[in-house]
Structure 1
Amino acid sequence: MQVVLREVHDSDLPVFFRQMNDPESMRMAAFTVEDPTDRDAFDALWKRIRSSDDIARTVLADGDVVGNAAVYGEPGEREVTYWVDRAYWGRGVATAALRELLTEVPERPLYARAAADNEASLRVLQKCGFRVSVTARGFANARGEEIDEVVLTLEG
C-alpha cells in the first residue's frame, strides 16, 4: 500500500468529519473535541488550521483519503497529531504517514499525546522515534471522564 501526504483540499473535509464521528475511533483517540457532531465548529477549526502556520496534511493510501496528520502549536512546544480511518488500522498507514510528516517538519523537539491505553497509537509514535517523557491525567471528551495520558517527545 502506498501512503503519501498532500495538502488538505476542501473535498477532504467531509471525509475527516465522518471519520471523526466514528464511535470506536473516538473512544481510542479519547482526547477529542467536545462535540464532534457540531459541523460548524468542525468547519471553523479546519478554517483556522488551514490559515495558520500549522502544517496539516491529508493522508492518502493508494490514492484514497484515509485520514490526516498535522503539526501544530507554538515553536518549542509543537505537537503532532494524526487520525486514520478505522478501516485502515493495523496496516502501517499511521506509521508511514507520521514518518513522512516528520521529514517535512525538521524542527525538534516535537511532542505527542495519547491515551495511556491506546497501545496502537503509542506503538506508532515509538516506531517513529518518540519516547515517553511524562504521564498525566486529563479529561477525555470522548469518554466523558478523566483518564491517564502519556506525553511523548521526539528529540533532535
Structure 2
Amino acid sequence: MPHIELRDLRDEDRDAAFAALRDSTSTWPRVSIDDRASFDRWVDGDGASVHAIVEDAAVVGVAAALDVDEDREILLAVSPHAGDEAATEALRLLTVREPERPLYACVSADDDPSHAVLARLGFVEHERDGADIVYVLPPTLE
C-alpha cells in the first residue's frame, strides 16, 4: 500500500495540487476555482486551511477545511492517477486534523466516487441543496 500523508501546501506543491484539482472528478460547490490564478488567490487567502495530499512523495491532490455559514466544511480533490486508497486515507487524515464536529462536506449529486469515500468514513447525508448533497460527520459519544 502506498504511503499517504497530508502536509501544509508548499509553494513547490502548487503546480501539482492545481493539476490534481483540475483533473479530479470532484466538484467544490462552495469554492469557485476557474484557473491557476484563482487557485493561488484561494490558497493565499485567510479563509481555508489547505493541504497537499502526498502519495509516496508525489503530490496527488489537495485537501482543505474552511468555515461556511459558521460550520466547518472539508474539501477534497484527488488526481485520477492516484492510488485507489488515496482519497479515503486523505479524508481520514483531514478529519483527524479537523476535530470540530459536526464536520460537513458538500458534493455534487452526480459525484459518485466522493459519495462512496464520505460514506466509508461515517459521513451521512444531511440535506440536499439543489444539485448538491451536504454530508455531515456527526459528533460521536465517548
User: What's the TM-score, normalizing by structure 2?
Assistant: 0.86
Once the two structures are aligned, what percentage of the paired residues are identical? 30
| Alpha-carbon distance in structure 1 between the residues aligned to 2:68 and 2:39 | 21
Aligned to 1:12: 13
Residues 42 and 30 of structure 1: CA distance in aligned 2, closer, same or farther (over 3 Å): closer
| Alpha-carbon distance in structure 1 between the residues aligned to 2:100 and 2:70 | 8
Q: 1:47 aligns with which of 44, 48, 51?
A: 44
Deviation (angstroms), 1:29: 2.0
- CA displacement, residues 108-138 of structure 1 (integer Å, 9 cap, x when unaligned): 011101111111100111111110011121x
| Alpha-carbon distance in structure 1 between the residues aligned to 2:44 and 2:82 | 26
| Alpha-carbon distance in structure 2 between the residues aligned to 1:6 and 1:30 | 20
Contact 1:130 1:153 (C-alpha < 8 Å) held by counterparts: yes
Match of 1:29, as an amino acid?
A: T
Aligned to 2:128: 135
Structure with higher helix content? 1
| Alpha-carbon distance in structure 1 between the residues aligned to 2:82 and 2:110 | 19
Structure 2 gaps of 5+ residues are none
Aligned to 2:136: 153
Structure 1 gaps of 5+ residues are 138-147
| Alpha-carbon distance in structure 1 between the residues aligned to 2:7 and 2:69 | 23
Number of residue pairs matched? Answer: 137
Contact 2:127 2:135 (C-alpha < 8 Å) held by counterparts: yes
Aligned to 1:29: 27
Name the Cα RMSD after superposition: 2.0
